[in-house]
Amino acid sequence: MTKRPFGRTKAFATLAFALLRIPFWMAAPQNQRRRHEQTFFATISEGFGIRISLQGAPSTTPGTLFIMNHISWADIPVTMSILDADFVAKSEMQSWPVIGALARRFAPVFVARDERHRSHAQADAIRARLNSGRSVILCPEGTTSDGASILAFRTSLLSAADAATVIQPVILSYLMPNGAALSLDRRREVAWIDDDDLLSGAARLAKSTTLARVDFLPPVKAMDDRKALAEKIRQHMLAAYAAAPNRPK
Domain spans of the chain? 7-243
**Nearest-CA neighbor of 53 among 248, 188, 216, 234?**
216
Q: What does the pLDDT look like over 166-213, one tens digit per residue?
A: 999 999 999 999 999 999 899 999 998 877 777 788 888 888 899 999
End-to-end CA distance of the chain: 16
pLDDT of residue 25 exceeding 70:
no
pLDDT top residue among 93 and 67: 67
If one counts every other C-beta atom within 10 angstroms of the C-beta of residue 229, the result is 22
pLDDT of residue 133 exceeding 90:
yes
Residue-level pLDDT at 12: 73
Dihedral sign of CA atoms 54, 58, 60, 64 in order: negative
Residues above pLDDT 90, as percent of the chain: 48
Going by CATH, does the domain composed of 7-243 fall within 2.60.40? Answer: no
Distance CA 122, CA 41 (A): 26
Task: Find out whether 222 and 161 touch, Cβ atoms under 8 Å.
Answer: yes
pLDDT top residue among 104 and 48: 48
Per-residue DSSP letter, 136: E
**Nearest-CA neighbor of 94 among 110, 79, 73?**
110
Q: What does the pLDDT look like over 59-78, one tens digit per residue?
A: 999 999 999 999 998 998 99
Query: 171 has which bridge partners?
Result: 215
Kindly report which listed range (19-23, 144-148, 244-248) carries the lowest average pLDDT score. Answer: 244-248
pLDDT of residue 97 exceeding 60:
no
Distances (CA, A) of 72 to 17, 37, 172: 22, 20, 10
Query: 169 has which bridge partners?
Result: 67
Residues in the chain: 249
pLDDT top residue among 100 and 178: 178
Distance CA 113, CA 93 (A): 12
If one counts every other C-beta atom within 10 angstroms of the C-beta of residue 110, the result is 17
Q: Where are the alpha helices (DSSP H) in 106-208?
A: 119-131, 184-190, 198-206
Task: Find out whether 141 and 241 touch, Cβ atoms under 8 Å.
Answer: no
Distance CA 62, CA 108 (A): 16
Exposure string of 161-181, with b = 16+ CB inside 10 Å and e = fewer, is bbbbbbbbbbbbbbbbeeeeb
